[in-house]
């Protein structure tokens, strides 16, 4: 048997493959990247990234004989003008014998019946998703959404009322009140409806209606309130009027005739004309498209065309430049550009003329008053669409108004004791501001009126009368003409008992008088050389207090010397009859 000896020692081993470690690290990094991408997408989506959103206006058409009012951004209701543009935060209210139509950017129509109200909560178009949301506050509305061929993007059309909320699908026609919904037509399953107090929803399909009693559907099966349309509902005058208005306003309109339409092979442009000049910030681009054109794109805003209606129209915001370029393109069904037109619009960026001030004084003047409320009024330039007073826009001023009015009041906090400066500015259609017109109103003692500040020139009579500066050191000499200064009201003499909270202190002075002073206060409205003066004693002005009030009255000449002086004492007791 052979004995074998094995040599023992250290031997090098084969290196392990690095592939499993690299694969594990790659898998972890890939998982982290996917997680970050998902989280980032959610965060960006929350802030609207990837869905470029543009706020869209709804055009208001005033219909009927009664009154229609609008509230802009929650302000007080005011009379509506036909064609006004309304945005999210605005609302409409109709009176008796009146109605109104809101036309949204996607082609959705909302017609308000008599004594109805609607608030726009959202009107925005997005690259991926758009929304129209409104709240029916009272009355009845007729609703019509466009067919899916007209507006095929993802869009939410929601109308909420007191007892019912409805999402309208494409191709809908419906009537809605605070607790009813009647669907005359609708694509798919119909309008999706939510009821307060319930988490689930139901569908009201074409030819169906739902009528809820207050609070009942929250505890009962809501489908029990669904029913076929009442045949008499189809004969509703409001429904017929709404359909007629839609048919009439949807007809293609001829171009206005101020200039010949400009056309390419597939586009006929009604407006604007090339190189036109406008003062407005927004301009309407309108026209007609030819055969096989499915969409018109204006400066990257797409307008789907309705079947059988080649007309298009879009309000375009102009750049704040001297020139703005507009590109109009005709697109096929697959997005191919079939034809295009280009227009240049010139901006009139000249600011408006300053508004005038007519009352209580003119532009640049100072006015003294003791009243706690004053109306400031004036005239607006012809192209003004708004008036600002100290950065406050006058809510009652409408474009085209000739007059404007502003209330200065201590109660409102815009009129304080002492000097108040009011700067009045006009705004034109382009949003440009005029130079300010300025009026200064002093709330204080003295007779009411304009404070005269004459500029003396050499060689004139006025130059011989030197104005006494208010901060000058006044002389305390022996009166030059004793007995010339007298008090005549509220009672002659030197004493008076007052029971009212204010009175006028009046008297006479020498014709050589340059200034009159009461308790070291110079009467600003006293005119040199006049022989009468007055001063307001009032508890609200702080010039009349409970108990004894002593008024030191002094008349002075052009050198500041005392002509005469007197003391008048008033005892004020409001408890005495």
DSSP string, 88-154: TT-EEEE-TTEEEEEE-TTS-EEEE-TT-EEEEEEEEEESSEEEEEEEEEES-EEEE---TTT--SE
| In contact, 266 and 339? CB cutoff 8 Å | yes
Give buried/exposed letters for 153-180 (b at 16+ CB in 10 A, else e): eebebbbbbebbbbbbbbbbbbbbbebb
pLDDT at 254: 44
For residue 186, give the nearest of 162, 216, 157 by alpha carbon.
157
**The pTM is what?**
0.41
Read off the tokens for 284: 């309407």
pLDDT in tens, the chain (577 residues): 444 444 444 444 555 555 556 666 666 777 777 677 666 655 555 445 455 577 888 999 988 767 899 998 888 888 888 888 899 999 999 988 889 999 998 889 999 999 999 999 999 888 788 899 999 999 999 999 988 766 666 899 999 999 999 999 998 999 999 999 999 988 888 999 988 888 888 999 888 999 887 655 566 777 788 888 887 777 788 888 888 888 877 765 443 444 444 445 688 888 888 888 887 777 889 888 888 888 888 887 788 888 888 888 888 877 767 788 888 888 888 778 888 888 888 877 778 899 999 999 999 898 998 888 899 999 999 888 889 998 888 888 888 888 999 999 988 888 988 889 999 999 887 777 889 999 999 888 767 788 754 333 333 233 333 344 444 457 888 999 999 999 999 999 889 888 887 888 899 999 999 999 998 888 877 888 899 888 888 777 778 888 889 999 999 998 889 999 999 999 888 776 5
| In contact, 435 and 354? CB cutoff 8 Å | yes
pLDDT at 37: 65
Read off the tokens for 328: 């109009």
pLDDT at 423: 93
Give the CA dihedral 83, 84, 88, 94, nearest 10 degrees. -80
| In contact, 361 and 450? CB cutoff 8 Å | yes
Residue in the structure block whose two tokens are 């949003």: 431
Distance (Å, rounded) from C-alpha 393 to C-alpha 387? Answer: 6
pLDDT at 443: 87
Distance (Å, rounded) from C-alpha 210 to C-alpha 195? Answer: 11
The full set of domains in the chain, from first to last, is: 53-249 (2.60.120.1440), 262-347 (2.60.40.10), 356-443 (2.60.40.10), 466-572 (2.60.40.10)
- Return the SS3 of 20: helix
- What phi and psi, each to the nearest 5 degrees, are found at residue 509? -140, 175
Read off the tokens for 293: 């054109």
| In contact, 338 and 266? CB cutoff 8 Å | yes
pLDDT at 2: 43
pLDDT at 473: 56
pLDDT at 465: 32
| In contact, 101 and 63? CB cutoff 8 Å | yes
């Amino acid at each position: 048997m052979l004995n074998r000896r094995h040599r023992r020692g250290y031997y090098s081993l084969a290196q392990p493959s690095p592939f499993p470690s690299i694969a594990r690290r790659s898998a972890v990094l890939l998982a982290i990247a996917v997680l970050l991408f998902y989280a980032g997408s959610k965060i960006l989506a929350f802030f609207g990234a990837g869905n470029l959103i543009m706020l869209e206006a709804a055009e208001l058409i005033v219909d009927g004989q009664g009154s229609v009012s609008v509230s802009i951004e929650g302000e007080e209701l005011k009379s509506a003008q036909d064609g006004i543009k309304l945005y999210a935060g605005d609302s409409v209210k109709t009176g008796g014998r009146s109605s109104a139509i809101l036309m949204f950017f996607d082609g959705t129509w909302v017609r308000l019946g008599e004594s109805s109200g609607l608030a726009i909560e959202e009107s925005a178009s997005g690259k991926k998703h758009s929304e129209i949301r409104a709240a029916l506050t009272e009355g009845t509305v007729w609703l019509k959404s466009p067919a899916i061929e007209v507006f095929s993007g993802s869009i939410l059309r929601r109308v909420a009322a007191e007892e019912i909320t409805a999402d309208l699908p494409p191709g809908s026609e419906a009537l809605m009140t605070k607790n009813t919904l009647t669907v005359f037509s609708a694509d798919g399953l119909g309008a999706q409806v939510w009821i307060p107090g319930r988490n689930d929803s139901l569908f009201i399909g074409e030819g169906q209606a739902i009528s809820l009693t207050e609070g009942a559907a929250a505890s009962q099966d809501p489908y029990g309130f669904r029913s076929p349309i009442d045949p008499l509902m189809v004969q509703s005058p409001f429904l017929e009027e709404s359909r007629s208005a839609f048919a009439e306003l949807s007809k293609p309109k001829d171009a206005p005739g101020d200039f010949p339409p400009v056309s390419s092979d597939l586009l006929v442009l009604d407006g604007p004309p090339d190189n036109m000049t406008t003062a407005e910030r927004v301009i309407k681009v309108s026209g007609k498209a030819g055969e096989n054109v499915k969409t018109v794109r204006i400066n990257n805003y797409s307008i789907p065309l309705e079947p059988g209606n080649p007309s298009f129209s879009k309000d375009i915001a102009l750049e704040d430049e001297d020139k703005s370029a507009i590109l109009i393109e005709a697109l096929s069904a697959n997005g191919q550009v079939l034809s295009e037109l280009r227009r240049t619009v010139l901006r009139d960026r000249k600011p408006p003329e300053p508004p005038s001030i007519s009352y209580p004084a003119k532009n640049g003047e100072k006015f003294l008053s003791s009243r706690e409320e004053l109306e400031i009024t004036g005239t607006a330039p012809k192209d003004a669409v708004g008036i600002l007073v100290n950065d406050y826009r006058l809510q009652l001023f409408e474009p085209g108004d000739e007059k404007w009015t502003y209330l200065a009041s201590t109660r409102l906090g815009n009129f304080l004791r002492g000097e108040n400066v009011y700067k009045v500015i006009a705004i034109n259609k382009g949003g440009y501001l005029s130079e300010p017109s300025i009026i200064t109103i002093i709330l204080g003692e003295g007779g009411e009126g304009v404070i005269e500040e004459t500029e003396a020139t050499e060689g004139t009579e006025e130059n011989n009368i030197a104005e006494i500066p208010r901060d000058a050191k006044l002389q305390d000499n022996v009166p030059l003409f004793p007995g010339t200064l007298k008090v005549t009201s509220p009672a002659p003499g030197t004493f008076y008992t007052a029971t009212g909270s204010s009175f006028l202190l009046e008297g006479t002075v020498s014709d050589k008088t340059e200034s009159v002073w009461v308790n070291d206060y110079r009467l600003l409205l006293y005119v040199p050389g006049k022989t009468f003066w007055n001063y307001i004693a009032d508890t609200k002005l702080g010039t009349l207090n409970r108990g004894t009030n002593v008024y030191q009255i002094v008349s002075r000449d052009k050198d500041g010397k005392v002509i005469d002086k007197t003391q008048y004492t008033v005892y004020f007791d409001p408890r005495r009859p």
